[in-house]
Amino acid sequence: MNKAVISVLGPDRPGIIAAVTRMLFEKNCNIENVSQTILQSEFSGIFIVALPSAQPLAELHDYLEEGLTPLNHHVFVKPLEVTGPVFTIASSEPFVITTKGPDRKGLVAAMTEIIARYGVNVTNLQAVFKGGDDPNSNIMIYEVDIPADIDQQGLYTDLRAKATELRLQISIQHRNIFEAINRI
């Protein structure tokens, strides 16, 4: 089977996932991965699907676009192509980095520059900015894979220094500890 990446963007409302998944089912597509979130008032969904080999991507795009136009949603469809080796870190541990503090331009750029410099991969990022100086209104959660062979103390020191410079509270925890502490 061929695989495709499908992105759906538009105003949030109940029933979007039901509509998209129903249409994919009708086209005999199998959903393999989904990442969906609401950003302010916007729905954003990314689906990786296996589709029948006879299914043209342009036809699938048109079918989804037509079905989602009444909801004012936009669809992007592209083939999932693995052209080289898939990026992996041979030996890494999952960590969660959280920051809280006043909103300002460049926060995400400043923190991810340090993360990237150490060869750490961001696997998920949630950032909620409501503006203003209330530290509890502006939160970033970075899920990262930290390679075992990097200078972890240097990474932590650089992240903490940048957080202090930006007036952010920062926490760096192994994902298992983060999940245990934040379990509902």
Q: Rounded distance, CA 173 to CA 112, Å? A: 17
Residue 84 has pLDDT above 80, yes or no: no
Q: Which fold has domain 92-181?
A: Alpha-Beta Plaits (3.30.70)
pLDDT in tens, 115-153: 999 999 998 988 877 665 665 668 889 999 999 899 999
Which is it for the CA torsion 104, 105, 110, 115, positive or negative? positive
In this prediction, residue 92 carries a pLDDT of 86
The contacts of residue 116 (CB under 8 Å, 6+ apart) are none
Say what the pTM is: 0.74
Residue 24 token pair = 């994919």
Whether 2-79 and 92-181 share one fold: the answer is yes
Q: Which fold has domain 2-79?
A: Alpha-Beta Plaits (3.30.70)
User: What confidence tier does 5 reach under pLDDT thresholds 50, 70, 90?
Assistant: very high
Would you say 170 and 159 are in contact if contact means Cβ atoms under 8 Å apart? yes
pLDDT in tens, 16-52: 999 999 999 999 999 999 999 988 899 999 999 999 9
Could you tell me what percent of the chain has a pLDDT over 70? 90
User: What confidence tier does 106 reach under pLDDT thresholds 50, 70, 90?
Assistant: confident
Domain-by-domain residue ranges, the chain? 2-79, 92-181
SS3 128: strand
Q: Rounded distance, CA 111 to CA 131, Å? A: 18
In this prediction, residue 179 carries a pLDDT of 73
Mean pLDDT value of segment 88-99: 84
User: What confidence tier does 162 reach under pLDDT thresholds 50, 70, 90?
Assistant: very high
Residue 111 has pLDDT above 90, yes or no: yes
Report which DSSP code applies to 107.
Answer: H
SS3 22: helix
In this prediction, residue 40 carries a pLDDT of 84
Residue 9 has pLDDT above 70, yes or no: yes
